[in-house]
Amino acid sequence: MPGSRRLTPPRWRGCSNRSAARPRYGSKTMKIGFIGLGNMGAPMAANLVKAGHEVTGYDPKAAMPAGVTAAPSAQAAVAGADVVFTMLPNGQALRNVATDIIPAMAKGAVLCDCSTADVANTRTVAEDAEAAGLMALDAPVSGGTVGATNGTLTFMVGGPAAAFDKVKPLFGVMGQKAVHCGGAGAGQAAKMCNNMILGATMIVTCEAFALGDKLGLDRQKLFDVVSTSSGNSWSMSTYCPVPGVGPKTPADNDYLPGFASELMLKDLRLAQQAAIATDTDTSIGTLAAELYETFVEEEDGFGLDFSAMMLRIEGRGRD
């Protein structure tokens, strides 16, 4: 009878063999190699697995995240991969790993480095990858371990537009934003400029709280004013360096690192190397690098979050 016919639902509805993890954002399932599965790489790779991608990883020290297939070598991890991600300590480590894996990668694959490295090494790796029939992206990230875990990183990307378009769905899995900044090295350039701003604003935010303390100003009141006024910054409103004020930050956890002070020092030094190479006046960036160098190498900053600069500043007088 009209109106009494029951529509047959799509076959996958209620089917017990339906895959629970389907690629997000309309992307196809990709085969991914991931080299470097430490504090940042591990949650990034885990999010790719959760999104339904096939991930093979290699790290000589770190354990594999759940769902990531462990490879016996870096070369084995990248064999047949559509995209290879690297998350490494520095530019020299990137060069070393790239030398090992580029010959093992499939033609047309993308080598996407998410480390924070110097522009010179980044561009050399891109040239080597292109000569081998690959595409290369430099895609350093902002957001720390929390962003890596929550899939809310920002990617600053340099390299060919075709490579960016291929990897963009994967950036969407691991982060909230990906900006194509230009050719090879542009992502690293954007990262070092961003972190020079971040290091300097964190220092002056700590100084403002220390000054407010000595003037008898309540920290919460200072936060309430600055976080909604012209002095606001990410260091104040999102990553406040004093405990018990604003959103929960490393300051509320004894300054255990979300982004370690020694990593901030590395980035500030990279910015200064670039400033010297380009004859750029970066007086505040230079001072920020010097202050973090003292904090990390001569005081107690190594192994603490970069916002622990607050401990240094509040315990000092005016020299």
pLDDT, position 72: 97
Tens digits of per-residue pLDDT, 203-236?
A: 999 999 999 999 999 999 999 999 999 999 999 9
**Catalytic site residue from 107, 191, 248, 266:** 191
Based on the domain organization, do 174 and 194 belong to the same domain? no
- Whether 6 is in a domain gets the answer no
Based on the domain organization, do 148 and 255 belong to the same domain? no
Using 50, 70 and 90 to split pLDDT, how confident is the model at 27? Answer: low
Domain's final residue, options 182, 203, 222: 182
Based on the domain organization, do 140 and 225 belong to the same domain? no
Based on the domain organization, do 194 and 168 belong to the same domain? no
- Crossing angle of helices 283-297 and 261-278, rounded to 10°: 140
Based on the domain organization, do 197 and 309 belong to the same domain? yes
pLDDT, position 263: 93
* pLDDT higher than 90, residue 202: yes
- Whether 3 is in a domain gets the answer no
- Whether 253 is in a domain gets the answer yes
Tens digits of per-residue pLDDT, 295-314?
A: 999 999 999 999 999 999 99
* pLDDT higher than 90, residue 5: no
Tens digits of per-residue pLDDT, 59-97?
A: 999 999 999 999 999 999 999 999 999 999 999 999 999
Based on the domain organization, do 156 and 35 belong to the same domain? yes
- Whether 18 is in a domain gets the answer no
Domain count, the chain: 2
- Whether 97 is in a domain gets the answer yes
Based on the domain organization, do 167 and 227 belong to the same domain? no
Based on the domain organization, do 39 and 167 belong to the same domain? yes
Based on the domain organization, do 129 and 208 belong to the same domain? no
Based on the domain organization, do 271 and 252 belong to the same domain? yes
| CA 134 – CA 108 distance, rounded (Å) | 5
pLDDT, position 317: 87
Terminal-residue alpha carbon distance, the chain: 92
Residues spanned by the domain of 84: 31-182
Q: Domain containing 224 — which CATH number?
A: 1.10.1040.10
Based on the domain organization, do 178 and 125 belong to the same domain? yes
Tens digits of per-residue pLDDT, 122-143?
A: 999 999 999 999 999 999 999 8
| CA 22 – CA 49 distance, rounded (Å) | 10
Active site residue 168: no
pLDDT, position 280: 98
> If phi over 0 gives left and psi between -120 and 50 gives alpha, with beta otherwise, what is residue 185?
left
DSSP 71: P
- Whether 7 is in a domain gets the answer no
- Whether 15 is in a domain gets the answer no
**Least confident range of 19-33, 121-135, 277-291:** 19-33
Domain's final residue, options 155, 182, 209: 182
Domain's final residue, options 154, 182, 210: 182
Tens digits of per-residue pLDDT, 229-266?
A: 999 999 999 999 999 999 999 999 999 998 999 999 99
* pLDDT higher than 70, residue 22: no
Q: Domain containing 59 — which CATH number?
A: 3.40.50.720
Based on the domain organization, do 174 and 212 belong to the same domain? no
Tens digits of per-residue pLDDT, 166-197?
A: 999 999 999 999 999 999 999 999 999 999 99
Using 50, 70 and 90 to split pLDDT, how confident is the model at 28? Answer: confident
Q: Residue 99 in 3-state DSSP? A: helix
In this structure, the dihedral spanned by the alpha carbons of residues 184, 281, 178 and 174, taken in order and rounded to 10 degrees, is 100
- Whether 288 is in a domain gets the answer yes
| CA 84 – CA 256 distance, rounded (Å) | 30
* Cβ count near 316 (within 10 Å): 9
